[in-house]
């Protein structure tokens, strides 16, 4: 298993500003992912955070809006840029080793006002 | 067609009831299958993996039908503590380092 520390746990931000969410894992992991969960909805994959290269984004998500860093095998950040109220959501960091289940951070609850 | 589709729910059942959730997936190349549980305002947590031969964990039984691309979860003798949202989860394709795709979830409420 993996223990994931994600912060901040919640934030209230002004529209037009940016927020960077950090994800720290207690062991080296191959795969790190960022998901979004909007109110009453399931998890939607934003991107795969690749160590040493650019993240792989899902359809509907772009690097300019959600820049991602992954400097090593235990850490990643997701930035939500130029926020609008539609970005209000829970953002979840997830890790996975090959063929195993995914583990999640506790999530960041973002409210944009 | 969505990658993973589930019963919409909600399911409201009395304690002790048996309840079944169904799920279909679109990618025949998927190799890993799971059921996750998500409690209100919490992150998802693994309930059980789903194996080709079917598997059981206490009151929970998972089945996989690859030909029909269908997954099920059966909960017997429901407890109040089983109330949660159950997420059907499939890996994107093949095996190895691919992301997991989540269904919309089925909400279960077990009533005393």
Q: Which of residues 36-95 of B touch A (CB under 8 A)?
A: 42-46, 49, 87, 89, 95
| Residues recorded for chain A | 113
Least confident window among A9-13, A26-30, A88-92, B84-88:
A26-30
State how far residue A44 is from chain B, nearest Cα, in angstroms.
Answer: 7
Percent of chain B with pLDDT strictly greater than 90: 76
Secondary structure E strands in A26-74: 31-37, 43-49, 56-57, 68-72
Confidence of residue B37 (pLDDT cuts 50, 70, 90): very high
Three-state SS across chain B?
CCCEEECCCCEEEECCCCEEEEEEECCCCECCEEEEEECCCCCCEEEEEECCCCEEECCEEEEEECCCCEEEEEECCCCHHHCEEEEEEEECCECCCCCEEECCCEEEEEEC
- Compare CB distances from B105 to A30, A42, A103 and report the shortest one's residue: A42
Q: Do B87 and A43 touch (CB under 8 A)?
A: yes
Distance from CA of A53 to the nearest CA of B (A): 15
Pairwise CA distance, residues B73 & A35, whole Å? 24
Q: Give A-chain residues touching B46 at CB under 8 angstroms.
A: 101-103
Q: Which residues of B touch A104 (CB under 8 A)?
A: 43-45
CA neighbor of A93 nearest in space, from B72, B44, B19, B65: B44
- Of A34-43, A46-55, B67-76, B91-100, least confident by mean pLDDT is B91-100
The pLDDT value given to residue B78 = 98
Mean confidence (pLDDT) of chain A: 94
From the CB of residue A85, how many other CB atoms can be counted at a distance below 10 Å? 9
pLDDT at res. B29: 86
Query: Which of B44, B85, B90, B103 should we substitute to test contact with A (largest number of A Cβ atoms within 10 Å)?
Result: B44
* pLDDT of B75 over the 80 cut: yes
Question: Is beta strand B70-75 parallel, antiparallel or unpaired with respect to B100-102?
Answer: unpaired
């Amino acid at each position: 298993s993996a223990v994931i520390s994600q912060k901040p746990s919640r934030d209230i931000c002004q529209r037009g500003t940016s927020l960077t969410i950090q994800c720290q894992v207690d062991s080296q992991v191959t795969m790190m992912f960022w998901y979004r969960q909007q109110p009453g909805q399931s998890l939607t994959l934003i991107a795969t955070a690749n160590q040493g290269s650019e993240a792989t984004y899902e359809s509907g998500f772009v690097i300019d809006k959600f820049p991602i860093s992954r400097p090593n095998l235990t850490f990643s950040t997701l930035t939500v840029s130029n926020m609008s109220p539609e970005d209000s959501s829970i953002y979840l960091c997830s890790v996975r080793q090959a063929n195993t289940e995914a583990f999640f951070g506790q999530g960041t609850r973002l409210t944009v006002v | 067609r969505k990658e993973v589709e589930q019963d919409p729910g909600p399911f409201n059942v009395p304690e002790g009831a048996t309840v079944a959730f169904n799920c279909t997936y679109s990618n025949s190349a998927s190799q890993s299958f799971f059921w996750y549980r998500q409690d209100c305002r919490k992150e998802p947590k693994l309930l059980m993996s789903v194996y080709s031969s079917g598997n059981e964990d206490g009151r929970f039984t998972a089945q996989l039908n690859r030909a029909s691309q269908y997954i099920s979860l059966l909960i017997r003798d429901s407890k109040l503590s089983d109330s949660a949202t159950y997420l059907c989860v499939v890996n994107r394709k093949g095996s190895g380092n691919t992301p997991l795709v989540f269904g919309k979830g089925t909400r279960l409420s077990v009533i005393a």
